Structure 1
Amino acid sequence: MDEESAEVAKQTEPVDAQDASVDPVKVPEQIINDLKPPLDFVPPKLKRKRKIVKRKLGVSSKTEKTLVRTTRKIQMKRKPALGPVDQIRLDAKYPLIPDFDVGSPLSIDTPDSCAASLVSTDSDFPDSVIGLSDDDSSYDDAEQGNEDSQSSISGYTSMSSVSVTQSRDNLSSSLSEENGQIRQIKPGEEDTRPRRAVVRVSRFSNLPPFIYFPPAEERGADLPQDLAKNMKWKLSTITPLVVREALKSTGFRLIKSKSESKDWMGMWGKHMKSIEFSSLKATQKINHFPGTFQIGRKDRLWRNIRKLEVKFGVNEFGFLPQTYVLPYDLKSLRKAWKKTSSDVPWIIKPPASARGQGIKVIHRWDQLSSARPLVVQEYKNNPYLISGTKFDIRMYVLITSFDPLKIYLYEDGLVRFASMKYSSEMTSLGDNFIHLTNYSINKHCDQYIHNEDAGACKGSKWTLKSLWNYLRNEGADVDELLMRIRDLVIKTVVSGEGVVNRLCNENLKSTYQCYELLGFDILLDTELRPWLLEVNISPSLHSSSSLDVTVKGPLIREVFNLARFHFPSKFNEEKQKEMSKILGIEQEIGSFCMDGRLYSRVLSMGEKEKIEDILLSAESGLRQEWLGSILEDLKPCDIRQLVHYEDEQTQLVNFRKIFPTPESHRYLKYMEYPRYFNLLLDAWENKYSTNRRQGLKLLDSFCCKGIHLEVPQIMSNGATATLEPHSTTSLPVRFIRPLSRSSSTIPASSVSARCSRAFHLFRSRLSFSAFRRHSPAGDISRGRRFYSSY
């Protein structure tokens, strides 16, 4: 049967399985007779409906059944007896179809039969999937209530079949960078790079060590065998080569097999639905937070920034060009269109795509399409030009936490030029090589000039540092420009932090599990004013030149070091001590493996009361009300957050912290609610930014006593106070204990303050009438208890 199947593959033409109108393949009658197993049972009523649909589409039932049976037979019963040529032909004619929808994000619990075909080796994927481009993986997001939108990889067609032996050989090989190019070191070939320890000890006592990711010119030293076999990283369809190289150099095993698919430490993949984050283990870390599509989708980014613009003014949040989201803003767009002349250009974009797909510059109303959602944006026709050419800036932003908010801006980045000279004439609007700067578009232009020199100001792509040098030579105030860009980045992240925090609290088990690398695309106008074009939640790390490697190689290693990975919790205390001795860790580290208490979300009653009191003080809006008192009595949860914060600062090389800083407190008013840990870091920066040594000494004294590891246990009767998964330190009412029926034991002032806080939140979140229904005259405590349980 295999020979006949191969013969069928030779005689038939490829069929697009997505297009039902394509003429089905003609299969010899003998093959049809051999493929007689019936299709899966379908109810008669549904069968009739299918027949009607097929009749309308012009697809006969017989030919459709023949095609289904043939492809199923070939897919399910491929045998190694086929020769390599026949196997390739079968792959081309009948590509393996994953069990899940290609348009949906890769689930953590993806069936391993699919994962094996999706995450084998670099050669398994076309360039558009593995490296993408200097733009980003495409997102075809479909909103489903409050769920995260689904993502799809543009250009994905099929995966070529690779033998298990070949995949294993490729995965077992290492990678290195030479002369700015990433090259693969084949099995048996010697890696001459110097060794570097991959263990980094915390600056505080009684904290487990971190995994250190060495620079590209070095490789990690060998680890004990028991430890090395548990260093597992889950591959995905978009894990770029530069990430794989950093992982292999550190000693990670890139896994995809069924037995290991759920036992991994980290993954670099697509954004998932929020609910899928709840399937992560507390010890697993991925490169996304739930809900960051709030700033990654063009339509939601505009909605969030627009809210703050209305509240705080255009001077504060007017850095995004005027935008209309169709079809919702169709009337508003029509009014604005009538006020402008016909020679005013507009730019239209799909709300959730990248790499320049679907972007057009128009100036006539009939050029708008009402068939699908669109983002219509004011086109900035006064861009800053270099050599008469338009360009934009790609800046990389790392967020290690949303509560407290910690933002880092990478000092280097990419400057991407259009291929042809800029023109403001209406007749040039249809030429994407003039008006669009996306690399995936301009690389196809004959006038695109490749640049391999990271320090040169030439070609169609520069490094960001080269641009700053160029602007300084032109007399521009680069420091002022950088300050505006930092302001733009912080306000953009703040615009979506409320939703992200709610989804994090609902779906994450610990504070260890997430970090996020964002790509900000910024345009400069003739006055060197930065304009935000979009935010990419999956910026491409594809390195097609030495210039790319110069920027993205150090970037990904510093991202991993700032994200702070721990060794897996797989060993008993005796084994951990043995490994510490082998690796030469002499400092008192407590546990060698990850200690879950460091990232616990459980709060004691004393911690809850302090959070409640500080946030009540913050209601006044006066910073001095809580600035001094919040650091007076540091609780275990405070020490843990401060220790994490200070440990991150030791890994800053090319990243610069832009939030929190001693001056960043002015951004707190833009947040949806005051968040306790944001106030804590603000007070810490205010007090110890000029005397960091004193603050570090104070924290280490607490860590020596083990206070940071004091986490209350959850009792079976529920008596111990816990932070529920859906609660957050920004809403102190959730931490207020319900009043007992005999309220005489509680001071009247405390009751008054807490009831006032509950009433304020009820008025802003529910309604005054709802509060009154549950708070009849003379029984305020009843309404208070109701709201505490809400």
Structure 2
Amino acid sequence: MDSVANDDETTPSAKKEVTSDDDSSSSSSDSDSQSEEHDDLESVSTADTVDQKSKDVAKGKINKMVQWTGYNKKQAILLFKSDAIIKKSSEHRALGDKYHMSFKIYKTECKLVRNTLTCHGFHEAHPNSNEFNLLWTGSHLKPYVLRGLTEFQKVNHFPRSYEITRKDRLYRNVQRMQQIKGFKHFDFVPLSFVCPGEFQDFCSAYLREKGTWIVKPVASSRGRGIFLVNHPDGVPLDETYIVCRYIPKPLLVDGFKFDLRLYVAVTSYDPLVIYLYEEGLSRFATVRYDQKVTKNIKNHCMHLTNYSVNKKSGDFVQNEDPEVEDYGNKWSLGALLRCLRAEGHDSTAIMMRIEDAIIKTLISVETPIATACKMFMPHKGNCFELYGFDVLIDSALRPWVLEVNLSPSLACDSPIDLKIKSHLVADLFSLTGFVLHDPMLRTQSKRNQDLAAKNPIRQQKQIRPGSGRLRGAASGRTSAADGVVPLSQEEARMVRRVKEEYVRRGGWVEYTYNAKSCLRV
């Protein structure tokens, strides 16, 4: 427990030399048309893995740590086990050690991530080294860092993820979808105003319907700088804040306000591939809720459910037993849903509404982030993301997306944290798909890719209709009566990748194919 506890992982300020707050400052015309060369490069980069396949298959235990993927199943993906941080056995470390797998943790600290990787044979690379399989960072990377990634390297943020994790950008993007698809279909974020720019609009809204509003810094976390006001005079105009309508009638459990921390993974924005983890956290305030909000407007431990705020309260109760998930001020999501069912609420319907809001939130930022991915990511599989969605349920059982966290805390301050987050991280890394590849071979692999990209004859051959193993489909030989548009090689490869992700998804629930159905309005 001690080895993975008590780190607070939030988004720190970016370093000038590597990270950036705005990945859209430059552009690139990197080609994505290396389709026919892809499989050849897979064979080159995983040659040792293919040679060892028969030996690894013979070792039954080690084989359970591998998924064979790609065309002709040439590429080996390492599977992670949540119990590795407890057992710390050579079985879990064997393949990572053999291929000298490595990681870098930059601008953040997360003991759970570090321990999960090292228990699977990864070692920590030098801070200045480019030879790594994973770069885990607490902030966005500058475009030149993304462009320099090889096919086997991964980073834990997409470019321009701030479109969803900055409170002002999140509201703007959802507001845009309200205008395009209709307000009622995207009415899951409270009415908000970015001040001081929209202060007059806020005053007008306040005069129409007086009440309590909550003021938040646009780029903060852990409840820092948040307070309630009941008059425009209380809104500071010297800094940028987002002023949101306060939800006055939240759903209560035993008289206490709570919110949900839900974990969402995205493995692609083009197309949009979404996963929601099967378990999450319910975080409770430490003071019983009073409907007379104005009377208790300064009582943060009544109105704010952030763990970082309430853990400082003398009334905070820590969970001490991972098998008792409905005790203290932090419950599991499953325990909360069981409690709501026992009170007569339809927990299935509640989760369906929450899932709908999460999917629509990601759809609202799909276009700007997908555009940035095309500009900066040299390979489709370079980036993945773990988001922390904070959702409030009101007394009418309606979910509200309060904010989306860029680097949700993976600190394990209690047994329930460790129980949920250790499984989550292991399943996230399996889902992400780390190829068994020695990063020391980066130079040769990169040289092969550069040669392929610079050869115009082979580039033309790759995109010529009818070429490659999908020749019949690409040349339109399917029956016109079928009414089916044939897949390109790149699309076929993406379909295969998503199917392979599904096999190793663990506790992640996939929403790839039904995401667009939310927009049938």
**TM-score, normalised relative to structure 2:** 0.79
Counterpart Cα distance in 2 of 1:363 and 1:411: 38
Which residue of 1 is the match for residue 169 of structure 2? 300
Shift of the alpha carbon at 1:666?
A: 2.3
**Counterpart residue identity of residue 148, structure 2:** S
CA deviation vs aligned residue, 1:713-744 (integer Å, no higher than 9, x gap) = xxxxxxxxxxxxxxxxxxxxxxxxxxxxxxxx
Give the structure, 1 or 2, with the largest relative contact order (CA under 8 Å, sep 6 or more). Answer: 2
Aligned to 2:463: 604
SS in 1 for 2:280: strand
C-alpha distance in structure 1 between counterparts of 2:428 and 2:382, whole Å: 14
Name the residue aligned to 1:207. 74
Mean alpha-carbon deviation: is it higher for 422-431 or for 285-294? 422-431
Residues 87-486 of structure 1 aligned to structure 2 (within 5 Å): 131-132=7-8, 136-137=10-11, 146-147=24-25, 198-202=65-69, 205-216=72-83, 217-218=86-87, 219=89, 221=91, 228=98, 230-256=100-126, 258=128, 261-275=129-143, 276-341=145-210, 344-425=211-292, 426-454=294-322, 455-486=324-355
CA offset digits 1:168-194 (Å, max 9, x no partner): xxxxxxxxxxxxxxxxxxxxxxxxxx9
Q: Can you list the C-alpha shifts for 1:101-120, whole angstroms capped at 9, x where unaligned? A: xxxxxxxxxxxxxxxxxxxx
Counterpart CA distance in 2 for 1:142 and 1:351 is 17
- Counterpart of 1:655 (choices 500, 505, 508) is 508
Contact 1:138 1:355 in 2 (8 A): no
Give 1:314 shift: 2.2
Distance in 2 between residues matched to 1:429 and 1:607, nearest whole Å: 67
Q: CA deviation at 1:313?
A: 1.8
Secondary structure of the structure 2 residue equivalent to 1:395: strand
| Among candidates 487, 509, 534, match of residue 356 of structure 2 | 487
CA–CA distance in structure 1, aligned partners of residues 67 and 414 of structure 2: 31
**Contact 1:138/1:353 (CA < 8 Å) preserved in 2?**
no
Give the number of aligned pairs: 454
**SS of structure 2 residue aligned to 1:325:** strand
Q: Which runs of 5+ in 1 are unaligned?
A: 1-121, 149-193, 573-590, 609-613, 615-624, 671-790
Residue by residue over 1:543-586, the C-alpha shift from the partner in whole angstroms, topping out at 9 and shown as x without a partner, is: 111100111000001100110110225699xxxxxxxxxxxxxx
SS at match of 2:252: coil
- What corresponds to 2:418 in structure 1? 549
Distance in structure 2 (CA, Å) of the matches to 1:315 and 1:655: 29
Q: 1-side partners of 2:307 and 2:25: how far apart?
A: 31
Report what 1:629 is aligned to: 484
Q: Which has the higher strand share?
A: 2
2:8 is matched by which residue type in structure 1?
A: L
CA 1:257–1:145 in structure 2 vs 1: closer, same or farther (change >3 Å)? closer
CA apart distance, 1:535: 0.4
Q: Does 1:640 align with 2:510?
A: no
Equivalent position SS for 1:606:
coil
Q: Which amino acid counterpart does residue 103 of structure 2 have in structure 1?
A: W
CA deviations on 1:623-676 (whole Å, 9 max, x unpaired) are: xx999422xx44422321121011011112211112223xx4424679xxxxxx
Distance (Å, rounded) in 1 between the aligned partners of 2:127 and 2:186:
48
The 2-side partners of 1:600 and 1:637 are apart by: 16
Amino acid paired to 1:395: L
Question: In structure 2, how many angstroms separate the alpha carbons of the residues matched to 1:460 and 1:316?
Answer: 33
Q: Secondary structure of the equivalent of 1:494? A: helix
Q: Distance in 1 between matches of 2:418 and 2:238?
A: 41
Contact 1:607 1:637 in 2 (8 A): no
Checking the alignment, whether the CA contact within 8 Å between 1:384 and 1:526 is kept in structure 2 is: yes
DSSP-derived class of the 1:527 partner? coil
- Residue identity opposite 1:269 in structure 2: T
TM-score, length-scaled by structure 1? 0.53
C-alpha change, 1:346 and 1:669, in structure 2 (3 Å) is same
Work out whether 1:509 is the aligned partner of 2:409.
no
After TM superposition, give the deviation of residue 385 of structure 1 in Å: 0.6
Deviation of 1:449 after TM superposition, in Å, equals 0.7
* Counterpart position of 1:681: none
Amino acid at match of 2:314: D
Q: Deviations over 1:394-445 (max 9, x none)?
A: 0000101111111011110000001111123312111111100111110110
The Cα RMSD (Å) is 3.4
> CA 1:144 to 1:293, structure 2 compared with 1: closer, same or farther past 3 Å?
closer
Shift of 1:144: 5.7
DSSP 3-state at the match of 1:347:
strand
